[in-house]
Structure 1
């Protein structure tokens, strides 16, 4: 059973998400929070597997709450509107496992929770790529050293991860098995101290390995 905490300052939004998730046999909402500070407290108390986190909330916002929650092991999926792109990028940098737009289809929301719960990142090739390409293309001076621990092959894999390819697609592109790709991804996360694929993508852009508008 995947346990979920809902963090949103709008009761109607929380009620809708609860109704959507509680109908599934493998998903259950175990708590709610109306602001970031309450979300941090409830995560400590309830230990959910996944937190659906709004960004703009009174008091402690979702961005700060995400930074505090990620070290506990709970997976955070940011729920936002498309005009909050830059906040989404900052949330990914803070360790969020991905994001959803508030008008997402019910199936997408359920899928996002399951993806996050199994330790993967919600990095669809569509909207997510647009967000990351726009706001992660700001490599700081000297940031290329971020990828120093990686081998040449790992950099090839990372570039494709950053463009939203799945392990299977990367395997086909680089003529290796999906299991080998998964091993490379896991090693990169360990070397770069990344929580998941979302942070690998951010690092790929920040280091300058990948630039917006360039294919893998």
Structure 2
């Protein structure tokens, strides 16, 4: 159902819905196409999936890069052949809704309650602030901050500010992940990598 390395922290109370998930769980009854497509949810090195995040993989996979945090109450729907592709060092905060197919670039932060629509492409190191929407088919260039009630309120980072944003973001993510690796197992059951396919 879900593939992840030993270094990832995956809560036991995540849910995966859809026929791709059922085919992956049923090894004998899985079709050749489902087996070839790989697991419906794939997680990279040192990533963290909080409890109660939901994956709907009926129409496509969800691929999460390394050093990512997917918070509680996040809903990700994989759609189309490519599904949802999330780059390395992404932070997805609570109650975010992502509808695939879409691509989210490395180092991107999706703040609480924001939405990413079908066919959207976010460049590297973007920030979509709370309750903002990236519309269907929209392309957001790298180092863009989306904010405010108007969907066209954007600011593109450049120069020294952009460099600081990229380097400090990765350091902070690594510290946050280390903290979560110590804290989450104390309060929630975790999946073990050797128990999954």
Q: Fold-level match, TM-score > 0.5?
A: no
Which protein has the bigger strand share?
Answer: 2
TM-score, normalising length: structure 1: 0.30
